[in-house]
Amino acid sequence: KGVKPFHFTIATEKSQKSTPGMFITGVEGDVQKPDKLVGSGTAAYSGSPVKINVVVEGSSQFWTDPASGKWGPMPSELNMATFFDPSKGMADILGNVKGLTADGTENVDGTDTYMLKGTVPATALKSLPSDVPGTGDISTTLWVGAGDFLLRKSALVGPRLSGAPADVAALVTIKDLHKAVTVQTPVIH
């Protein structure tokens, strides 16, 4: 909660089974808490690859439309700001991890970390897209800084979207903690 700016990447690996609708394959960007985010992402929509850019500033969220490539308001069901909100998103996930056990150490981007394994109930993902199933547990591995106890990486393995394969994995990496971030709201014509 105390880290204001940081850089993040989200990489999603899917199994051979295709997923319905839009499947996010990767996102990279910068966050300036409490309410600014700039990033770009790749996704598969009905099997076709698409690229988008995203800017969040306060309650205003913009994206480059996957079809036209032009800037416009982001659909309300894709609320990027909640993922890094201190009281939602990753905070919900971290606050609801159960069965946590130590699983060794690993260096993540130059930081020594403790690896911790556990599970997260699907209900902890409620601030993510609305079609996250509300039952079952999702396996998770957390990489926490050995010197500062800040989250550096998180892996979630399990279906976060209705109809997604059971072995789909998402890896969130956080780095450049406290490094200044510039967010410019796009001009929309």
- For the chain, the distance separating the N- and C-terminal CA atoms, rounded to the nearest angstrom, is 36
Contacts of 31 (CB under 8 A, 6+ apart): 5, 6, 7, 8, 37, 84, 181
| pLDDT (0 to 100) of residue 103 | 94
Q: How far is 126 from 128, CA to CA, in rounded Å?
A: 5
pTM, two decimals, is 0.75
| pLDDT (0 to 100) of residue 41 | 87
Taking residues 16-32, report their average pLDDT. 73
For 126-162, how does the pLDDT look when each residue is reduced to its tens digit (9 = 90+)?
655 444 555 678 888 999 999 999 889 988 887 655 5
For residues 134 and 12, which has the higher predicted lDDT (pLDDT)? 12
Of the ranges 8-22, 54-68, 119-133, the best mean pLDDT one:
54-68
For 78-136, how does the pLDDT look when each residue is reduced to its tens digit (9 = 90+)?
766 666 665 566 677 778 889 999 999 999 989 999 999 999 887 776 655 444 555 67
